[in-house]
Amino acid sequence: MPRPTYDATRRDAQLTALVDYTGGIQGPLIMIGDFNLSDREPFYDILNNPLHDSFDEAGWGAGFSFPNLQHRSAGVLIDYLLDVVGIGDRIAFASAPLPQLPPLVRIDYIWTNDALVPLSSRLRCEELDSDHCMLISDVGLLSRT
């Protein structure tokens, strides 16, 4: 079975347009989302300058936000992943308790511009209506200069 691959071409083009757009914004800016971007990828540095990663500046730990295995559909996700990597036949998790595994990757971000300073940042991964953990940041209207 061929391994799935991820082509970041479209994502990088969208992020480039986003960086260009946000560069013209005057005043405070908060940009929040699932960017499908690891903080280890080269494009992270393009976003992180001129913007600022609130978790990197004011959080603690790795900041992994995906997948949230506390989510009620996590069994479907685990089933899909087992099938894709070819570990075996599909496994029914509907009635079985899910393993208490932490999220594995950091792809959700709260970015700010120089008009805001992240004061604290944290994750909530209990059962939510999302397969991502919730990223929460407190920011202050303070100048970085």
Which neighbouring-strand residues pair with 53?
111
- pLDDT of 83 reads 60
User: Would you give per-residue pLDDT tens digits along the chain (145 residues)?
Assistant: 677 777 889 999 999 999 899 988 888 999 999 999 999 998 899 899 889 999 999 999 999 998 887 765 555 555 555 665 554 444 444 445 555 567 889 999 999 998 999 999 999 987 777 888 999 999 999 755 5
Look up the CATH number of domain 9-66+103-140.
Answer: 3.60.10.10
CB neighbours of residue 70 within 10 Å? 18
Quick check: 117 and 51 in contact, CB under 8 A?
A: no
Backbone angles phi, psi at 79, to 5 degrees: -60, -45
**What is the residue extent of each domain of the chain?**
9-66+103-140
Alpha-carbon distances of 106 from 59, 60, 109, 129, rounded to whole Å: 13, 13, 8, 18
Strands (E), the chain: 30-34, 52-53, 108-112, 117-124, 134-140
Q: Has this prediction a pTM greater than 0.85? A: no
Query: Which residue bears the tokens 């087992």?
Result: 82
